[in-house]
Structure 1
Amino acid sequence: MRVVRLSLRNFRSYESADVELGAGLTVVTGRNGAGKTNLLDALYFGCTGRSARTTNDRELVRFGQKVTRVEVETEADDGPHRLSVGFEAGQPKRLTADGVRVERLLDVPGRPLVSVFLPDRLELVKGTPSLRRAHVDQVVAALWPARTTTRRGYAQALAQRNALLTRVRDGAVSPTSLAAWDRELARHGIALMADRAAAIDAVAERFGAIAADLGLDGDPRVAYRPRSKATDADGLVAELEERRTSDLERGFSGHGPHRDDLALTRDGRELRAYGSQGQQRLALLALLLAEREAIAATRDAVPVMLLDDVMSELDRERRGRLVELLRGVGQSVVTTTDLEHVPGGDGADVRRLRVEDGEVRADDLREQP
Structure 2
Amino acid sequence: MYIDRLSLTDFRTYAQTDLQLGPGVNVFVGSNGVGKTNIVEAIGYLATLASHRVTSDAPLVRFGAERAIVRARIVRGGQQSVLELEIAPGRSNRARINRSAPMRSREIAGIARTVLFAPEDLALVKGEPSHRRRFADDLIVTLFPYLAKARGDYEKVLKQRNALLKSGRRQWSEGHESTIAVWDQQLARAAAALTKARLTVLAGLAPHVEDAYHRLADGQKATGLVYLSSLAGDVEQQRSAPDPAHAERLRELDAAGLYEAYLRAFESSRQKDRERATTTVGPHRDDIALILGTAPAKGFASHGETWSFALALRLASFRLMREDDSSEAACPILVLDDVFAELDAQRRARLSRLVLEAEQVLITAAVGNDVPEGLEGRAFTVTPGEVALEGEAA
SS in 2 for 1:203: helix
Matched, 1:297 2:327: no
Verify: 1:251 aligned to 2:254, yes or no: no
**Residues 48 and 138, structure 2, Cα contact 8 Å, conserved in 1:** no
Letter in 2 for 1:151: R
2:353 equivalent to 1:324: yes
Give structure 2 stretches of 5+ with no counterpart. Answer: 233-249
Report deviation, 1:222.
2.6
Distance 2:41 2:182 in 1: 44
The equivalences for 1:240-319 within 5 A come to 240-299=266-325, 301-319=330-348
Equivalent residues of 2:46, 2:112 under 8 A apart: no
Give the whole-Å Cα distance in 1 for the aligned partners of 2:151 and 2:384.
Answer: 44
String of CA shifts for 1:280-326, please: whole Å, max 9, x gaps.
33322211110111011113533322111211233333222212221
Q: Is the 8 A contact 1:204 1:223 kept in 2?
A: no
Cα drift, residue 81 of structure 1: 2.1
Q: How does 1:93-172 map to 2 (within 5 A)?
A: 95-108=95-108, 111-155=111-155, 158=158, 162=162, 170-172=172-174
Contact 1:216 1:283 in 2 (8 A): no
Return the match for 1:334 from 355, 363, 371: 363
The 8 Å contact of residues 125 and 280 in structure 1, kept in 2 or not, is answered as yes
CA distance in 2, matches of 1:159, 1:91: 18
Q: Closer, same or farther in 2 for the Cα pair 1:239/1:55, shift >3 Å?
A: closer
Partner Cα distance (2:196, 2:186) in 1: 16
Root-mean-square deviation (Å): 3.5
Aligned residues: 361
SS at match of 1:274: coil
Could you state the TM-score of these two structures normalised by the residue count of structure 1?
A: 0.81
CA distance in 2, matches of 1:160, 1:65: 31
Find the counterpart in structure 2 of residue 353 from structure 1: 380
Cα deviation 1:164-206 (Å, max 9, x = unaligned): 6555952233858766665654454344322111100111111
What TM-score, normalized to structure 2? 0.77
Q: Is the 8 A contact 2:109 2:145 kept in 1?
A: no
Pick from 219, 223, 233 the counterpart of residue 222 of structure 2: 219
- Compare 163-172 and 132-141 and name the one that shifted more: 163-172
Does the 8 Å CA contact 1:94/1:101 hold for their aligned counterparts?
no
Change (3 A) 1:158 1:219: same
Q: 1:69 to 1:24 in 2, by over 3 A?
A: same
Q: How far off its partner does 1:209 sit?
A: 1.4
Report % sequence identity: 32
8 Å contact 2:94–2:105 — kept in the other structure? Answer: no
Quote the Cα distance in structure 1 between the aligned partners of 2:63 and 2:189: 49
* SS of equivalent residue, structure 2 residue 146: helix
**Residues 314, 178 of structure 1: alpha-carbon distance in 2 compared, 3 angstrom cutoff:** closer
CA drift at 1:226: 1.7
Distance 1:327 1:105, change over 3 A: farther
